[in-house]
Chain A
Amino acid sequence: MNAPPAAARYDCIVIGAGHNGLVCATRLAQAGRKVLVLEAAAQVGGAAVTREFHPGFRVSAGAHLLHLMSAELIREFKLSAHGLRYSGTQLPTTALLPGGGTLAIGAGMQGADAVAYAAYETRMRRFGAALGPVLAGVAPRLGTDRWADKLALLSLGWRIRRLGRKDMRELLRIGGMNVYDLLQEHFSSAVLQGALGLDAVLGSNFGPRSPGSVLTLLYRLAGESAARANGLAQPQGGMGALCDALAAAARAAGVTIRTDAPVARILVANDCASGVALQSGEQFAAGIVISNADPKTTFLQLLGARYLDNGFVRRVNHLRGKGLTAKLHLALAEAPRFAGVAAERIGGRLLIAPSLEHIEHAYNHAKYGEYSIEPVIEITVPTHNDQGLAPAGQHVLSAIVQYAPYALKGGWAGQRQAFSDLCVATLERYAPGIAKSILGCELLTPVDIEAKFRISGGHWHHADLALDQFLMVRPVPGATQHRTPLAGLYLCGAGCHPGGGVMGTAGGNAASQVLKQARAYG
Chain B
Amino acid sequence: MILVYLISILFVGGLVAWLSERVDPNYPRIVALATVLIDLVVMISLLGVDPSSGGWVASVNADWIPRFGISFYFAADGLSLLLILLTGFLGVIAVGSAWDDIHEKTGFFYFNLLWTLAGVIGVFTALDLFLFFFFWEVMLIPMYFIIAIWGHENKNYAAMKFFIFTQVTGMLMLVSIIMLGYLHFLQMGMFSFNYHDLMKVEASGTIEYLMMLGFFVAFTTKLPSVPFHSWLPDAHSQAPTAGSVILAGILLKTGAYGLIRFAVPLFPESSLDFSPIAMGLAAFSILYCAKVAFAQTDIKRLIAYTSVSHMGFVTLGVYAWNELALQGAVMTMLAHGLSAAALFMLAGGLQHRIHTRNMQHMGGFWGKVPKMAVVAIFFSVAALGMPGLGNFIGEFLALLGAFQSNILFTVIAAFGLILASVYSLWVIQQVFQGEYKADKFEDSHLLDLNRREMIYFGAMMIGLIWMGMYPQSFLNLSEPVLIELLNNTQAVTAAVVRN
Q: Are A and B subunits of one complex? A: no
Measured CB to CB, the residues of A under 8 A from B are: none
Measured CB to CB, the residues of B under 8 A from A are: none
